[in-house]
Amino acid sequence: MPFNIAKLLENQKKNILELWMKNQLEDEGLREDLITNEELRAQSEELVGSLVANIGAGGSTDLDGDNWSPVIEILGGIAITRARQGFSPRETGKFVYSLKEAILEVLQEQIGDDPKMLFEESRKINRIMDGLTVVTFETFIKGREEVILRQTDEIAEISTPVIRVWDGILALPIIGTLDSQRTQIVMENLLQEIVDTGSSIAILDISGVPAVDSLVAQHLIKTVSATRLMGAECIISGIRPEIAQTVVHLGIDLSSIITKSSLASALAYAFRTLRLEVRKQVVQNK
């Protein structure tokens, strides 16, 4: 009678799950803060069930086959959830590796008296589990990348507020590095706001920009020129002494741009241009 691994695994499903759970719970790196034991159990049970059913159905070890897609889907789902929950790659990897351990242990128990068959079956299991591990990692990394992309978008969106400081004066504090993509967003927001509010002066505050190199300077010059084309004036403020040094050392010509050291002096300049006056109230003592 030929040995039927599918049947064996089917019978031992419960054992495998228990063993796997034991392995996972015993592990020092168990993250009870991120996932409850019940949830972990549910995840594990689903995966074992689907895996065993699949080995029984086809017996093919080729993971590209269609019959593996449900397992891969479940595993992918788990990996993505873990990526979002903040599991480390090591913890996610261990999740799958410990399943392999459990299956091999059960195999050893059941057919340990036939070394040749044990070797054959172990190899098969190994191949399947290794493939699944790779899939897990791919999905895990994809999940992480999605998180990073989303955060980048969020940062780009929240970090370019255009503030109306006065009637006809806009301020735009830039925090963080200016790359081409951000310059584009900054420029679009600023120009649109100029049209919407009919402002004639825009103040670009760069005190939150960590460093200005020739590329960043070029982006700044672009923004200023575009503002000028719209018919508004653009002042760059918040230039720190170190930045002034770098700009001059790099030989960047900012002479065509109005620059002020602080937002306050830029605002004062804007008031002068608009012929506005801010005065301290004189209190008359009687």
Binding site for another protein (CB under 8 A): 184, 187-188, 191-192, 194-195, 198, 200, 222, 225-232
Nearer to another protein, 30 or 252 (CB): 252
Residue whose CB is less far from another protein, 192 or 214? 192
Q: Which two tokens stand for residue 58?
A: 């086809």
SS3 label, residue 255: coil
Q: What is the nearest approach in angstroms of another protein to the Cβ of residue 213? A: 19
The three-state (H, E, C) secondary structure of 186-217, written as one string: HHHHHHHHHHHHCCCEEEEEEEECCCCCHHHH
Instruction: Quote the least distance from Cβ 139 to another protein, whole Å.
Output: 39
Least distance (Å) between residue 81 CB and another protein = 41
Beta strands in the chain (DSSP E): 163-166, 169-175, 201-208, 233-237, 258-259
Q: How far is the CB of 49 from another protein (least distance, A)?
A: 56
Measuring CA to CA, which residue among 247, 171, 226, 165 is closest to residue 204? 171
Q: What are phi and psi of 260, to 5 degrees?
A: -130, 155
User: Which CB sits closer to another protein, 30 or 230?
Assistant: 230
d(CA 177, CA 208): 8
Distance in Å, CB of 188 to another protein, minimum = 6
Least Å distance, CB 185 to another protein, is: 11
Closer CB to another protein, residue 187 or residue 247? 187
Nearer Cβ to another protein, position 120 or 193?
193
**Could you give the CA distance from residue 232 to residue 196 in angstroms, rounded to a whole number?**
13
C-beta closer to another protein: residue 174 or 232: 232
By beta-carbon proximity to another protein, the closer residue of 58 and 198 is: 198
- Residues contacting residue 237 through CB under 8 Å, at least 6 positions apart: 203, 204, 205, 206, 207, 259, 260, 261, 262, 263, 265, 266
CA distance 16 to 22: 10
Separation CA 98–CA 60 (nearest Å)? 22
Secondary structure element (H or E) that encloses residue 25, with its range: helix 5-26
* Residue 259: CB minimum distance to another protein, A: 17
Nearer Cβ to another protein (191/217): 191
Least distance from C-beta 228 to another protein, angstroms?
A: 6
Q: How far apart are the first and last CA of the chain?
A: 116
